Amino acid sequence: MNEEYFNTVAKLEKMSVSDDYIIGWQEGYQGSPKVEEQRITDAYEAGYTDGEKRTTDSAENFKK
């Protein structure tokens, strides 16, 4: 991974964003397959989409 990846994950953790969002963001950023359908939450889906786009646009909506 690169510095952008690690800095963004650290930023999300400091923002107290939900774990589902962070995991989704990490997997979307890496281009990993999504988790099983029954485990997908709104936070995960938003994180995955943002990760694919390399943004954190939806993160504020998923604070703990």
Segments in the chain below pLDDT 70: none
Please tell me what DSSP assigns to residue 38.
Answer: G
CA trace torsion 18, 36, 48, 29 (10° rounding): 110
- What three-state secondary structure class fits 57? coil
Residues 21-38 have pLDDT tens digits of 999 999 999 999 999 999
- pLDDT score, position 1: 72
pLDDT at 42: 97
- Segments forming the whole domain that contains residue 14: 3-62
User: Per the structure, how many domains does the chain have?
Assistant: 1
